[in-house]
Amino acid sequence: MRFAALGSGSRGNATLVESGLTRVLIDCGLSVKALTHRLASLDVEPASIAAVLLTHEHGDHIGGVAAFAGRYGIPVWSTPGTWRAAGIATEIDLRLFLGHGGALRIGDLSIAPYPIPHDAREPCQFVIDGDGCRLGVLTDAGSITPHIRERLSDCDALMLEANHDPALLRAGPYPPSVQARVGGAFGHLSNQQAAELLDRLEHRALRQLLIAHVSANNNREDLVRSAIAAVSVELEQRLVIAPQSRGTGWLPI
């Protein structure tokens, strides 16, 4: 099993996950041009993707879904709430699932959605099993719930949001209402929240840690790294930070 972020942050998110012959895309918030270009750099034909799964309706996660899935005839999996709130009128091969329901079987992958606190209609994230490996994905969450900790407790790899540094957010360019939203219980995870989650998980067993959805305005790589280093210097040395404007390349699990 392997995965790759194709772009991560408030200007667009998409993550490719592959096991055996199956490839799925988590979110589709990039333009068709950027997506196809970044997929090509991984030697992936868009039409080889079995499904696009949506986490929630914010534009940085669904902005390209109608055009991309429509063009290549890829089924789109969404919670009913996310799809309703997305308001996409384009004819699409839509498959609905419940954000708190059981695992979805798509080819060689088993994909378990779980609910998270975020200011969207029915947001969820995923724990993905394939090849005897488990990848946990968590971005766009304002706080860590006991349920999140439980769902991510046994992963071999994690894609984890470290969106902002609270002091930079307060001193940054956002108006107070946006600062309150981003830093609130239904906003985004800070570096400290991400580190605290890692501290309470079996992080020594993690073979890959991809830090995602890092804010360009309210965070810095050295602050992300020092927050994670406070939990484990070894983990900090091998983590990967997902960039916004290009992909990460394949990350094997």
Q: Pick the piece of the chain touching Zn ion (CB under 5 A) from 34-42, 58-66, 98-106, 151-159.
A: 58-66
Nearer to Zn ion, 123 or 130 (CB): 123
The Cβ-side half-sphere exposure at 23, using a 13 Å CA radius, reads: 16
- As a whole number of Å, the end-to-end CA separation of the chain is 6
Residue in 60, 122, 161, 236 binding Zn ion, rule: CB under 5 A:
60
From residue 196, alpha-carbon distances to 110, 160, 201 in Å are 27, 12, 9
Compute the distance between CA of residue 251 and CA of residue 209 in angstroms, rounded to an integer.
9
> At its nearest, how many Å lie between Zn ion and the CB of residue 213?
6
Q: Pick the piece of the chain touching Zn ion (CB under 5 A) from 56-64, 142-150, 166-174, 234-242.
A: 56-64
Residue 27 touching Zn ion (CB under 5 A): no
Q: Pick the piece of the chain touching Zn ion (CB under 5 A) from 65-73, 108-116, 133-141, 145-153.
A: 133-141
User: Is residue 136 classed exposed, middle or buried when 0-12, 13-18 and 19+ CB atoms within 10 A define those classes?
Assistant: buried
Residue in 2, 23, 58, 203 binding Zn ion, rule: CB under 5 A:
58
> At its nearest, how many Å lie between Zn ion and the CB of residue 29?
7
Residue 129 touching Zn ion (CB under 5 A): no
> At its nearest, how many Å lie between Zn ion and the CB of residue 61?
6
Nearer to Zn ion, 58 or 151 (CB): 58
> b/e map of 211-249 (b: 16 or more CB within 10 Å)?
bbbbbeebbeeebbbebbbebbeebbeebebbebeebbe
Q: Pick the piece of the chain touching Zn ion (CB under 5 A) from 55-63, 87-95, 109-117, 235-243.
A: 55-63
CB 251 within 8 A of CB 2: yes
> At its nearest, how many Å lie between Zn ion and the CB of residue 233?
29
Nearer to Zn ion, 28 or 231 (CB): 28
> At its nearest, how many Å lie between Zn ion and the CB of residue 60?
4
Residue 140 touching Zn ion (CB under 5 A): yes
Footprint of Zn ion on this chain (CB under 5 A)?
Answer: 58, 60, 140
